[in-house]
Amino acid sequence: MRVGNLRELQSLACIPFLGILASLQLIDPSVANIALVKASDTLQMQGAVLALGASVSTLAQAASVLVMGYFGDRFGRRRVLAASLLLALFGNLLSMLAGEAGLFLLGRALTGIALGSVLTSTFASVRFVTPAAGVSAALGLWNLLIVVGFISGSLLGGWMATINWRLSFLLVPIICSASLLLLPALLPAIPGNRALKPDLPGLASIALAMVLFLFGINHAALGLRSPSFWLPASSGLLLFVLHISLERRSRKPMFPPRLYLRGFFAAAVINGIGWNVAQAVVQLQTSNFWQLVQGYSTSAVAFAQLPFLICFGVAGIYAGRWMGPGRRTLVLMTGGSLTLVLGLALFAIVQVQTPYWQLLPALMLAGLGLAFVAVPQSALFVQEAPEDCFGSVLAFRTTSGQLGFAFGLAASGTMISGFGFHDLHSRMQAAGLGLEHLPQLDEQIRLFLRNSPISLEGSASEQLLKLLQEAYTQGLAGTMLVVAVITGLLFGISLLLLIIGREQQLLHQEGS
């Protein structure tokens, strides 16, 4: 085969390959959360240790993703991607073979660091293997393959977890091993810039700020007055202010602080937060509803969410094509925002016995809306990232996304509790249940809101379960309306920032 044909084949296969690699960042936590139930029994993880087992991967990723973006700029994208795949392989094997909780947690932390780097490296590589005019279409294809990989991987990993929880931790190493063999053939070498110097104060301050803030948000369900929530969350915000101050004074900042003042970059960040809020609420709370209220199995929930994921993946391809030269980002993001907000609002029809088909329009609209927002948002990050700190700026997309996702999970759980369980005493009295059941019910509510298995005992167990299901469903309906409003406000702000960005661009063109 001629060299020209080989290069053409490499170019065609590269973007799908990068999309499959990026899907590891979704496959791994999905499979790990399924396996965690059985792993916690084997390794005797309870309470705070079990909670850490569910979140340590995310916290490690938040602390390291910007550093890994810098490493990609400094040492070369393909080299860092290969090292990250090796680290993900090792981390999963460590968790799989762990005989005690400490080693399991270490493996999960290493995996979080590795897969955050994989996501950032693949995202940054898209621009370097694609002509400038085709970046948006390539990002649409990249998003589609992330969805395809996630659907396939999570279903396969879930099936492996039902056989043995340790077996499920082999899935990511198998994919990583195959990818390492294909990497030199499919991804061309992307040279690094060895002249770059690390901005240690900037990297350390943003890493610590993210970990503290996410740790606090993860404890929001304990109440806004709980020190476990407000102390780390407020400390994280203060550290973020310190980070910006340090970056403004730095001669070699992690990335230029002036980016925060650019309309396009600010629009991408705010939009990314809103996108992740909506995505977190739709995926987690529909899963809770079908599994805990309507009794779906884990595999049935995965199939129930397929229309949402398929609409997102396919619409991303069209969004990428419509983002070609001469097309308006503002028009596409406006349409996507309105579609997503409408989909979220339609979930408010939910009741305990609502059949699946009645929720299909909401699922499909949410998937379409998320796609039409995600592709132009990704393109904005690529457009705004300076050459000398490209990886760090693109890694900030993951950072802002984690903020939105964590906020979506915490806020939706808190709102469901407020809307659905605020009148628990009167509900129990109406059902003829005594208050002696209250301690048991409080514990089950906490498990219920975390999508954890619940166990009700005693003669009143059926009545208590029915009460939980009705309260949760009522809370879910109200929560979806509020999330629609919050998402709409965030998207509205991002659209205004887009307009400001266009004005800034015109002024710059006139000045030059």
Whether 274 is covered by a domain: the verdict is yes
Does the structure show a pLDDT above 70 at 9?
A: no
Read off the pLDDT band of 355 (50, 70, 90). very high
Tell me what pLDDT residue 55 has: 80
> What average pLDDT does the segment 1-10 reach?
51
pLDDT above 90 covers what percent of the chain?
40
Q: What is the DSSP letter of 179?
A: H
**Same-domain pairing of 288 and 427:** yes
**If you average pLDDT over every residue of the chain, what do you get?**
86
CA distance 119 to 113: 10
Q: Which has the closest alpha carbon to 308: 332, 281, 282?
A: 282
Between CA 325 and CA 333, with CA 331 as vertex, the angle to 5 degrees is 100
Tell me what pLDDT residue 357 has: 94
**Same-domain pairing of 248 and 271:** no
CA distance 452 to 288: 9
Between CA 19 and CA 25, with CA 21 as vertex, the angle to 5 degrees is 100
Q: Residue holding tokens 């379960």?
A: 465
User: How many C-beta neighbours within 10 Å does residue 55 have?
Assistant: 18
Name the more confident of 203 and 487.
487
Whether 14 is covered by a domain: the verdict is yes
Read off the pLDDT band of 146 (50, 70, 90). very high
**Same-domain pairing of 268 and 232:** no
CA distance 454 to 425: 20
Q: Which two tokens mark 16?
A: 């799908």
Whether 192 is covered by a domain: the verdict is no
User: How many C-beta neighbours within 10 Å does residue 240 have?
Assistant: 18
Tell me what pLDDT residue 448 has: 62
Whether 334 is covered by a domain: the verdict is yes
Burial class (CB in 10 A: 0-12, 13-18, 19+), 425: exposed
C-alpha distances in Å from residue 6, one per residue of 89, 186, 505: 29, 10, 40
**Same-domain pairing of 341 and 430:** yes
Tell me what pLDDT residue 1 has: 44
Q: What residue spans of 390-458 are helical by DSSP H? A: 390-421, 424-430, 438-449
CA distance 73 to 192: 5
DSSP reduced 3-state for 401: helix
Highest mean pLDDT among 173-187, 236-250, 404-418 belongs to: 173-187
Give the CATH number, domain containing residue 445: 1.20.1250.20
**Same-domain pairing of 273 and 233:** no
Q: What are the tens digits of pLDDT across the range 222-275?
A: 677 788 888 998 999 999 889 888 888 887 787 778 888 899 999 999 999 999
Whether 386 is covered by a domain: the verdict is yes
Q: What are the tens digits of pLDDT across the range 54-91?
A: 788 888 888 888 889 989 999 999 999 999 999 999 99
Q: Is the distance from CB of 168 to CB of 35 less than 8 angstroms?
A: yes
3-state secondary structure 179-239: HHHHHHHHCCCCCCCCCCCCCHHHHHHHHHHHHHHHHHHHCHHHCCCCHHHHHHHHHHHHH
**Same-domain pairing of 396 and 465:** yes
Q: Residue holding tokens 């203060």?
A: 238
Tell me what pLDDT residue 3 has: 44
pLDDT above 70 covers what percent of the chain?
89
Read off the pLDDT band of 360 (50, 70, 90). very high
How many residues does this entry show for the chain?
A: 512
- Long-range own/partner contacts, residues 463-471 (CB < 8 A, 24 or more apart): 463/431, 463/432, 463/433, 464/433, 464/437, 464/440, 466/431, 467/427, 467/428, 467/431, 467/433, 467/441, 468/292, 468/441, 468/444, 469/292, 469/293, 469/352, 470/352, 470/427, 471/420, 471/421, 471/424, 471/427
Q: Among 226, 253, 280, where does a domain finish?
A: 253
**Same-domain pairing of 396 and 493:** yes
**Same-domain pairing of 247 and 360:** no
Whether 23 is covered by a domain: the verdict is yes
Read off the pLDDT band of 334 (50, 70, 90). very high
Contacts of 355 (CB under 8 A, 6+ apart): none
Helices 171-186 and 3-42 meet at what angle, rounded to 10?
160
> What average pLDDT does the segment 162-179 reach?
95
Read off the pLDDT band of 440 (50, 70, 90). low
**Same-domain pairing of 386 and 345:** yes
Q: Which has the closest alpha carbon to 201: 166, 253, 149, 162?
A: 253
Tell me what pLDDT residue 416 has: 86
C-alpha distances in Å from residue 401, one per residue of 147, 279, 351: 17, 10, 30
**Same-domain pairing of 154 and 243:** no
Question: What's the number of CA atoms in the CB half-sphere (13 Å) around residue 3?
Answer: 0
**Same-domain pairing of 161 and 244:** no
Question: How many structural domains comprise the chain?
Answer: 3
Positive or negative CA dihedral for 130, 133, 134, 135? positive
**Same-domain pairing of 330 and 436:** yes
Tell me what pLDDT residue 450 has: 59
Tell me what pLDDT residue 326 has: 46
> What average pLDDT does the segment 97-108 reach?
93
Helices 47-75 and 200-218 meet at what angle, rounded to 10?
150
Read off the pLDDT band of 459 (50, 70, 90). low
DSSP reduced 3-state for 13: helix
Quickly list DSSP for 323-348. Answer: TSTT--HHHHHHHHHHHHHHHHHHGG
Q: Among 253, 270, 296, where does a domain finish?
A: 253
Q: Which two tokens mark 169?
A: 């931790």
Name the more confident of 248 and 511.
248
Q: Among 236, 253, 270, where does a domain finish?
A: 253
Whether 194 is covered by a domain: the verdict is no
Does the structure show a pLDDT above 70 at 217?
A: yes
Tell me what pLDDT residue 221 has: 67
Q: Which of 14-18, 176-180, 222-226 has the lowest mean pLDDT?
A: 222-226
Contacts of 179 (CB under 8 A, 6+ apart): 17, 20, 21, 85
Read off the pLDDT band of 94 (50, 70, 90). very high
CA distance 356 to 372: 25
Question: How far is residue 510 CA from its own chain's centroid?
Answer: 39
Does the structure show a pLDDT above 90 at 166?
A: yes
Domain that holds residue 228: 200-253
> What average pLDDT does the segment 95-122 reach?
94
Whether 193 is covered by a domain: the verdict is no
Read off the pLDDT band of 156 (50, 70, 90). very high
Q: Is the distance from CB of 281 to CB of 408 less than 8 angstroms?
A: yes
Q: What are the tens digits of pLDDT across the range 275-330?
A: 999 998 998 888 888 888 888 877 788 889 899 999 999 999 988 888 754 457 88
